[in-house]
Amino acid sequence: MKIKILAGLVAAAVLFWGALQVRNSVTLTENRAVIKKRGYTIEAVLAAPQEKRILLKDRGKLMGMNFADELVAVIPLDRADALKGRFGADMFRCDGAGSRELMSATRPLCYLAANPHVKDRAGEVLRLLPGKIPVVDVTIRDMTITSFRNFGIPFDVGQSNFGGAVLLTDIVLVADHYR
């Protein structure tokens, strides 16, 4: 009896490990995405592409969003420029003038890269953190998740965006440090 239980546990562990080893993929059509990653299968409707120039400030921790690639604190460049014009470069210091306004302008960007090339380029830029504040041009698409499965088990998500997760379709480094 103990051997059967142990054999069942080993089989379950092997299946679970195998599911984790499945190759990640993002399949895109004009306005839909099917994402397979770490045991998750996610179907989403994609909004129109948005191009933005932003500052990358800090990396965050992904908690409960294991299908995403990164969580980054970002600041729209136009907002950063306006604050810098009012408060100078000290706005980035915690005790500096304008730090509160800068914090309120900071937004989370939880993204999933559209392909390995974009993921690699994003990783290269993120290596500049925390010592520098890179300026990047990004192209993102908001995702409305319509189907969510974890290891084949469906979850009722209604029409959800899981806290603002976006599909990152392009990233270009404009400057390695905001000045």
Task: Kindly report, residue by residue over 94-129, the tens digit of the pLDDT.
Answer: 776 777 888 888 888 888 898 999 999 999 999 998
Region 123-146 average pLDDT:
90
What own/partner pairs with CB < 8 Å and gap ≥ 24 does 79-85 have?
79/105, 80/55, 80/105, 80/178
Q: Which of 38-47, 94-103, 142-151 has the lowest mean pLDDT?
A: 94-103
Predicted local distance difference test score (pLDDT) of residue 109: 85
Sign of CA pseudo-dihedral 62, 32, 26, 176:
negative
Kind of pairing, strands 166-175 and 135-150? antiparallel
CA distance 137 to 169: 11
Mean predicted lDDT score pLDDT of the chain? 81
Nearest by Cα to 155 from 29, 67, 23, 91: 67
pTM exceeds 0.85, yes or no: no
CA pair distance 176, 132, nearest whole angstrom: 7
Per-position b or e across 50-68, b if 16+ CB within 10 A of its CB: eeeebbbbeeeeeeebebb
Q: Which residues pair with 26 in a beta bridge?
A: 35
* 19-36 mean pLDDT: 76
Our measurement of the distance from residue 153's CA atom to the centroid of its chain's CA atoms, rounded to an integer in Å, reads 23
Can you tell me the mean pLDDT for 28-46? Answer: 86
Q: What is the helix, strand, coil percentage profile of the chain, to 5?
A: 30, 40, 30
Q: What is the pLDDT of residue 9?
A: 59
Rounded Cα gap, residues 82 and 74, in angstroms = 15
Q: What is the pLDDT of residue 134?
A: 93
Q: What is the structure's pLDDT at 159?
A: 52
Query: Which residues lie closer than 8 Å to 106 by C-beta, 6 or more apart?
Result: 57, 73, 74, 75
